[in-house]
Amino acid sequence: MASLINCPHCGVRPKEEFSIRGAASVVRPAPTAPDEDWNRYVFIRDNERGRIQEYWHHGAGCRRWLVVDRSNITHEVFSIADAEDKAKEAAR
């Protein structure tokens, strides 16, 4: 993985300031969804190869949640966005 990450709030920072917190593409089931859907959401995740989106937390900087689009094969980072902005986009 690149040793420097370009935080949208803090600028270029060392990757050690960030924590990867999981897949950002997983969709939460509706509250009334069957137990099987909730079981899959909580416990079963695909281990995809290639370009993925993940939640990262900038714990040693702005403390914001980010969505990082990267390759889990080459570790190339394609884009980084504030998670709040991504949520607003999805709500439109």
* CATH code for the domain in which residue 54 is found: 3.30.2270.10
Tell me how many domains the chain contains: 1
Query: Global pTM?
Result: 0.83
- The range of the structural domain enclosing residue 35 comes to 4-91
Q: What is the DSSP string of 9-20?
A: TTEEEEGGG-EE
The string of pLDDT tens digits covering residues 42-84 is: 999 888 899 999 999 999 999 999 999 999 999 999 999 999 9
Q: Provide, rounded to the nearest whole percent, the portion of the chain with pLDDT above 70.
A: 98
- The dihedral built from the CA positions of residue 16, 60, 9 and 83, taken in this order, carries a sign that is positive
Residue with tokens 């902005």: 85
